């Protein structure tokens, strides 16, 4: 990911959630198609505390 950022192949894009229309920040890989940029969305940033939004895996309960 750091190499992609250094090479200019990583972007953070502000989008709207398709269901709630809330603002989201989405991490994207950037590819090239000639002079055009091609964005592949692969993660959104959590609002607030991510530890409140997600349940982490329990190593004792796979």
Q: 3-57 pLDDT, tens per residue?
A: 988 998 999 999 988 888 888 899 999 998 888 889 999 888 877 787 777 777 8
Residue 60 lies in a domain: no
Say if CB 39 and CB 11 are below 8 A apart.
Answer: yes
Q: For the CA atoms of 41, 43, 44, 48, what is the dihedral angle to 10 degrees?
A: -170
Q: What is the pLDDT of residue 28?
A: 92
Residue 51 lies in a domain: no
Residue 43 lies in a domain: no
Q: What is the pLDDT of residue 55?
A: 78
Residue 52 lies in a domain: no
Which domain covers residue 27, as residue numbers? 1-33
Residue 1: pLDDT above 90? no
Residue 11 lies in a domain: yes
What total of structural domains would you count in the chain?
A: 1
Residue 20 lies in a domain: yes
Q: What is the pLDDT of residue 51?
A: 76
Q: Which residue has the tokens 């607030």?
A: 48
Residue 56 lies in a domain: no
């Amino acid at each position: 990911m750091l190499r992609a950022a250094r090479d200019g192949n990583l972007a953070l894009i502000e989008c709207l959630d398709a269901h709630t229309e809330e603002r989201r920040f989405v991490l994207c890989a950037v590819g090239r198609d000639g002079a055009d940029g091609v964005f592949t969305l692969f993660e959104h940033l959590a609002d607030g505390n991510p530890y409140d939004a997600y349940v982490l895996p329990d190593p004792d309960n796979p």
